[in-house]
Amino acid sequence: MRLSALFTRLIVFLAAGFLSVTAARTTVAVVEERSVMAVQETLVDQGYEWASVLGDGLQVILEGEAPTEAVRFRAISAAGGMVDASRVIDNLTVTDSAQIAPPKFAVEILRNNAGVSLIGLIPATTNREALTEQITDIADGLPVTDFLEVGDYPAPDTWQAALGYSLRALEMLSKSKISVNADRVNVIALSDSPEEKRRLETALARNTPDGVRLAVQINAPRPVISPFTTRFTLDEEGARFDACTADTSEAVSEILEAASEAGFNQRANCTLALGAPSRTWGSAVALAIGAVDSLGGGTVTISDTDVTLTAPLGTGQASFDNVAGRLENTLPDAFALRAILPELPQETSAEAPRFTATLSPEGEVQLRGRVPDEITNMVVANFAEAKFGRRNITMGTRVAEDLPAGWSVRVLAGIEALSELSNGSVLVEPDQLQVRGNTGNEEASAAITGLLIAKLGQGADFEINVTYVEELDPVAGLPTPEECIAQIDVIKEGRKITFDPGSADLTADTQPVVDDIAEVLKICGDLPIRIAGYTDSQGREVMNQQLSQDRANAVLMALSARRVPISTFEAIGYGEEDPIADNDTEEGREANRRIEFSLILPEPTPEEQSTLDALAEEAPLDAAPAEAEDTAPAGDAQEADSEETESQ
């Protein structure tokens, strides 16, 4: 019995142990499964899908490749929030930093009256010292705030070109914000006038680097116009604006819609300006143009709140009264109407007085016709000389009596109107003044209209037929870079840039040549130009190269002294390379001692270079770049070689 009881107790003990182990393992498995699920769900919810979770008893193992060390740490922290941190085993790795894409290099540059500020990220290969020095020069004494950071990553191929272009733009724009990255430059700036805006836009568009997109937004302040004027004419030549001014874009649309219904189908140059006498300006002008259309012709002039409607000759009284009355009753309250029905001219045997002024394309002015007295004649001559220059005036006037009242004012107003043209004529008659000609200013017609209204009154009868010619526009007519080099060719034709023997000092005879070249370069604007110096083969090669470099630098400094912008220029001395004549003759050596001007062109791609090489083999180019030769004696280089005290 005792043995049986012992076995029973042993079996019970073993069964209890087995059940305890089984229960413990089941519990651990359940805890492990729930821990793994909880951690995995948390990682997925927080965006760490790249991490996987494994269980090993009560331990939670994290595996996977984190993009950064910071992300790895955040994933471990997230797992530690679901289970005890001591149970989390970190088997995570971090992506190799060499595989991470380099950051996007970008710079924001702001320039105003307070100075220049820079913020952004630039490559470590950027010459920070040279950049700071250039920005300081541009700031011209104003403070420079530099918040630039440096990234030690390879710079994109177009980065340096984009940064260099942005600095050239910054130099031209005193109030600007320039955003730079490797493939795009955004320029937002303010200009002092519409003319300057057009000039800057033209200059900025010229030198955009290859592979870099350019976005330019230059805003010019609205001019203040007084009186606020619009003049619309409808006659046998068609519908046209002699002047068009509006205070809002909506007003421009309203005015042009009315003009279109009256038959106007040209490009309108309506100026947005300040100084409108009423918020209803656009409606008033549109109603006035509609009245001209209803009359079938005529002219309407709106100057501030005064509206003058002039009917065409032969208009019936009833029709005129109907249109004028309707306009008077529909105009906004602030506006007053003056309606004029011209009378048919009566035949007379007396010849009507006339005064004519003509301006030739060369600037020659001829004045002919009648003036009331000698004093007026002298005033007319002096006024014309002030507008056009003393040497350009030819007087053909004569004193006559019984001229209409206000004749002198009409004559002087006509001369002033002529000064707004590049060439043309003015005809002054007792009842009308005509201005005809060409101009390079798109605003000339409006300016002449405002002038004549101010001088002669709103009811004055005048006709303006002025044509805008783009070639006469000093901005739109700027020469191309190739034309600039061609103009330098013309200037140096038969003349040379000369230096004192064995030195880089320009001779006195050369100064007029450099003056003329400087005038061309000022007109051409911001161009990338290379000034190359060459010598003959006399003397040592090293001395020749140094002399050619000094002479190229001397020309560069001479142009800078004449206020030519040289930030995009470079001077290089090539010594005795690339001779254009035989160095064995005196004439050949003199030809080889020269200064050449050429455009700096972007380096061709390998494919383009292959094409150029193939073309060169088929048809070698013999043309030389624009050059200017010096006339230092042939022995200069030899003298410099033998005398160490003198640079060749």
Query: pLDDT, tens digit, for every residue of 422-472?
Result: 999 999 998 889 999 999 888 888 889 888 988 888 778 888 898 888 777
Quick one: DSSP state of residue 429? -
- What is the side-by-side strand order in the sheet with 626-629? 569-573, 529-534, 594-599, 626-629
> Which own/partner contact pairs does 208-212 have at CB distance under 8 Å and 24+ positions apart?
208/165, 209/158, 209/161, 209/162, 209/164, 209/165, 209/602, 210/158, 210/161, 210/602, 211/157, 211/158, 211/161, 211/183, 212/158, 212/161, 212/162, 212/165, 212/182, 212/183, 212/184, 212/185
- CB atoms under 10 Å from CB of 437, counted, come to 23
**β-strands 336-340, 184-190 pairing:** unpaired
Alpha helices in 110-248 (DSSP H): 128-139, 159-172, 194-206
User: Domains of the chain (ranges plus CATH)?
Assistant: 32-99 (3.30.1340.30), 106-219 (3.40.1520.20), 229-340 (3.40.1520), 355-472 (3.40.1520.20), 481-642 (3.30.1330.60)
What letter represents residue 526's amino acid? D
Phi, psi of 505 (to 5 degrees): -90, 125
The alpha carbon of residue 560 and the mean position of all alpha carbons in its chain are separated, in whole angstroms, by 23
CA distance 146 to 142: 13
Lowest mean pLDDT, pick from 459-468, 517-526, 628-637? 628-637
Cα–Cα distance for residue pair 128/80, rounded to 1 Å: 46
Distance from the Cα of residue 60 to its chain's centroid: 63
Q: How confident is the prediction for the chain on average, in pLDDT?
A: 82
Q: Give SS3 for 316.
A: coil
- HSE at residue 250, side-chain half, CA atoms within 13 A, is 4
Nearest partner of 402 among 371, 369, 381, judged by Cα: 371
Quick check: 108 and 149 in contact, CB under 8 A?
no
Contacts of 111 (CB under 8 A, 6+ apart): 138, 139, 170, 173, 174, 175, 176, 177, 178
Please report which confidence band the pLDDT of residue 594 belongs to, taking 50, 70 and 90 as the band edges.
confident
Tell me: the pLDDT tens digits for 473-509?
A: 766 656 778 888 888 888 887 788 888 888 888 888 8
DSSP string, 224-287: B-SS-EEEEEEETTEEEEEE-EESSHHHHHHHHHHHHHTT--S---PEE-B--S-TTHHHHHHH
284-302 pLDDT, tens digit per residue, is: 999 999 999 999 999 999 9
Strand partners, 395: 367
Nearest to 646 by CA among 571, 554, 540: 540
306 contacts 278 by C-beta, under 8 angstroms: no
Confidence of residue 642 (pLDDT cuts 50, 70, 90): very low
Q: Which residues lie closer than 8 Å to 443 by C-beta, 6 or more apart?
A: 194, 269, 271
Tens of pLDDT, residue by residue over 174-232, are 889 999 988 889 999 988 777 778 778 877 877 777 778 888 888 877 888 888 999 99
Cα(97)–Cα(369) distance, integer angstroms: 87
How far is Cα 108 from Cα 462, in angstroms, rounded to an integer? 53
pLDDT in tens, 26-78: 666 666 777 778 888 888 888 888 888 887 777 888 888 888 878 888 888 88
Helix (H) or strand (E) holding 616: helix 606-618
- Calculate mean pLDDT across residues 416-427: 92
Instruction: Provide the token pair at 337.
Output: 């109407």
Beta bridge pairs of residue 570: 530
Q: Which residues pair with 180 in a beta bridge?
A: 107, 185
